[in-house]
Amino acid sequence: MVGRHRGFIAHLKREVPDIFTIHCVIHRQHLAAKHLSDRLHSTLQAVMKAVNRIKAHSLNDRIFRQLCHENEEEFELLLLHTEARGLSKGICLRRFYDLYDSVLDFFKCKLLDKKISTDLENRRADVAYLPDIFNKLKEVNIKLQGTKMCLIKAKGIIMAFISKLDFYKSCLLRLDLNQFPSLKALKENQTFDSCLSDTDLDCYSSHLQALKEDMMIRFKDLKELKIPEWVVNPFQADATNADPNLVEELIDLQNDIEGKVLFQQIGYEAFWPKEQDKYPHLWKKIKLLLLAFPSSYLAEKGFSVVLQLLTKQRNRLQICKRGDLRLCLSNIEPDIIKLASSHQAQGSH
């Protein structure tokens, strides 16, 4: 995220050509999620305008709550969204669609802008499609988070979603809407013919195709990343197909009975770092696949914890005991961690 063409990364690669760099996969996925057609972007803006119109004024908010209560809605509040990587747009859009009829009734009042109501009513199909696709993008975003994420897992998650986009597109074109619950409910409605047309389906399938092409470009490095079969399952892989310089160590590993038991107990993520001294050539080949951070999740988590030290709540924190900060300091000498814990116990800040 610091400029691969003209920024720090570009300069670093000129000085150290063999260095390994990667753009945060969560950030790239977030950028791809923002890729909307003009029509869908216009619908998104219309939805946000309606939400802001209600939420920005306390009187409108109270009237809307009362209206939802009278309509026996499950919820009585709309949600605001934020331009964050958590893709809160999906949650905001889902709530908006759940209260869609109440929103239309609200704006049909004589005292309010009927133009907003008419605009939203004409975009009913779009308002149904957006929460469905953003919910799927949100699921991918959540999968990419976590402290145990590595390049191997990240590649699997991203490539799986890109393949699913073709599946979603084919489902739309043959009117199999099981993957799009809001559109499916709209189809089963009596006014289906007037709400969901062939033009709408073409628009949504075009969006899925554009999203796939965008992600293929953004994640080209992950797509081309070669992950040997023996990395994930060394005891079942064919050693003769491996790099000639690694065949001997791989054969030794496959005949290591204790190593096989250990691998079955802790999995490949913990096995390779534990056995790195025993199989140095294999470890050198794959260490970046396991140790490189594919996202900035860990760094942001650490910063968010440390940021609390600057707040008024710092006297009540127990960061060292709770373990939040310990993850960020895992590479620091244990004596330093003990020293920090002792200072905190004495009331130092």
pLDDT digits (tens, 9 = 90+) for 287-335: 888 888 888 887 777 777 666 666 655 555 555 555 545 544 454 444 4
pLDDT digits 0-9 by tens, 47-65: 988 888 888 888 888 888 8
Q: Which of 30, 31, 11 is nearest to 21 (CA)?
A: 11
Do 263 and 234 contact (CB within 8 A), yes or no? yes
Token output for 39: 């029509």
Residue 231 burial by CB count (10 A; 0-12/13-18/19+): exposed, middle or buried?
middle
Per-residue CA distances from 175 to 99, 168, 171, 201, 268 (Å): 25, 10, 6, 9, 42
Q: Which residue reads 């797509």 in tokens?
A: 223
| pLDDT confidence band for 149 (50 / 70 / 90) | confident
Per-residue CA distances from 161 to 81, 93, 140, 143 (Å): 24, 21, 7, 11
pLDDT digits 0-9 by tens, 113-145: 677 888 888 888 899 999 999 999 989 988 988
Domain positions in the chain are: 26-223, 229-291, 297-345
* Confidence at residue 189, expressed as pLDDT on a 0 to 100 scale: 75
pLDDT digits 0-9 by tens, 223-266: 998 888 899 989 988 888 888 889 999 999 999 999 999 999 99
Do 118 and 104 contact (CB within 8 A), yes or no? no
